[in-house]
Structure 1
Amino acid sequence: MVNDIIKELEEKMKKTISSLKKELASMKAGRATPAMLDRIEVDYYGTMTSLNQLANISVPESRILMIQPWDKSAMKSIEKAILVSDLGLNPSNDGTSMRLVIPELTEETRKNLVKNIKKAGEDSKVALRSIRRDANDKVKNLKKDNSITEDEVKSSENDIQKKTDAYVKEVDNVVDAKEKEIMSI
């Protein structure tokens, strides 16, 4: 029973870390990556559709993203979705494909990005603590049901705390790596 709780805790914490990594990958870092457009949703015939499902996204040069929609009639919708996004990019549309030039990062932009990175890291830590609290509550409920002893409760809480500490450290490492990447460009 307790092992199931700890396995579930680890699965949820791993998902939190991968979610953080995905979010940080979509933050622009002065060079073009298709992951920057992962959060863009396009109104495609009345349905909100992820941009990467509507077009081929490539990186012909280090600071240019090329978007080639499979359905050319979606060009206007894609352009509109990019313009209203928080990326601050202006697409240049030639009728068959679209180019996005990623501007060089200014010092102020870097500092704002680092702020957003740290906020994403803190949000992930809050999520990890919430997962820890839920796991501890489940262990305490097992104690109330007399399914486990007080010693097993203490041991389980220690295990849960150790796992939480390890994942919080991993969040710090991911955030630090992204911060260094942004500041060194």
Structure 2
Amino acid sequence: MTKEIIKDAEERMKKAVEVFRQEVAGMRANRATPALLDKVRVEAYGSEVPVNNVATIEVPDPRTLVIKPWDRSLIKAIERAINASDLGLNPTNDGQVIRLSIPPMTEERRRELVKVVAKRTEEQRVAIRNIRRDANEQIKKLEKDKAVSEDESKRAQDEVQKLTDKYIKEVDQLMAAKEKEIMEV
């Protein structure tokens, strides 16, 4: 029984780290990356879809993204979606492709982004700790209901704590890497 609780907790922690990894990848650093557009959703064919589902995104140089829609009628919709996003980028369109120039970031903007990364990191740590708390409560309930022994309960809680430490460390490593990437000139 405790093994299932631990396995469930580990799966949920993995998901929390993966969500954080995707969120951090989409944050603008000092160079162009298709991941910048992951959260941009385009109104196409009656539903909202990610940009990469309706276009090819290329990086011809470190400061430029080129978006080539598969259906040219979507070019205006993609442009509107980028303008409506919180990226702060101005798309230019030549009727065939949309170009996004990534301006160099100021020192002030870099520091703001590092604060955002730190805030998101703390949110993920809290999420992982909440998963730990839930798992420990389930284990303690099993112990209270005499479904597991006190020793087994203690072992299971120790295992959950090891998982928590492992995934919080992973989140911290992702944060450190992103901060380094943002602060590089």
Q: Calculate the TM-score normalised by the size of structure 1.
A: 0.96
User: Which residue does 2:35 correspond to in 1?
Assistant: 35
Task: Report deviation, 1:23.
Answer: 0.6
Task: Report deviation, 1:156.
Answer: 1.2
Q: Could you list the runs of 5+ residues in structure 1 that have no partner in the other structure?
A: none
- In structure 2, C-alpha distance between the alignment counterparts of 1:45 and 1:55, rounded to whole Å: 14
3-state DSSP of counterpart to 1:89: coil
Amino acid at match of 1:109: R
- In structure 1, C-alpha distance between the alignment counterparts of 2:184 and 2:68, rounded to whole Å: 31
- In structure 1, C-alpha distance between the alignment counterparts of 2:52 and 2:138, rounded to whole Å: 40
3-state DSSP of counterpart to 2:147: coil
User: Which residue does 1:120 correspond to in 2?
Assistant: 120
Partner deviation per Cα, 1:140-179 (whole Å, 9 max, x = no partner): 2212332101121122111111211121122111101110
User: Which residue does 1:109 correspond to in 2?
Assistant: 109
Aligned length: 185
3-state DSSP of counterpart to 2:30: coil
**Which aligned pairs between 1:48-63 and structure 2 lie closer than 5 A?**
48-63=48-63
Q: Could you list the runs of 5+ residues in structure 2 that have no partner in the other structure?
A: none
Amino acid at match of 1:8: D
- In structure 2, C-alpha distance between the alignment counterparts of 1:173 and 1:49, rounded to whole Å: 31
User: Which residue does 2:93 correspond to in 1?
Assistant: 93
- In structure 2, C-alpha distance between the alignment counterparts of 1:50 and 1:134, rounded to whole Å: 34
User: Which residue does 1:140 correspond to in 2?
Assistant: 140
Note if contact 2:12-2:131 (Cα within 8 Å) is conserved in structure 1: yes
Q: Calculate the TM-score normalised by the size of structure 2.
A: 0.96
Amino acid at match of 1:102: I
Note if contact 2:30-2:184 (Cα within 8 Å) is conserved in structure 1: no
**Seq. identity, %:** 52
- In structure 1, C-alpha distance between the alignment counterparts of 2:137 and 2:42, rounded to whole Å: 41
Matched, 1:2 2:18: no
User: Which residue does 1:44 correspond to in 2?
Assistant: 44
Q: Cα RMSD over matched residues? A: 1.0
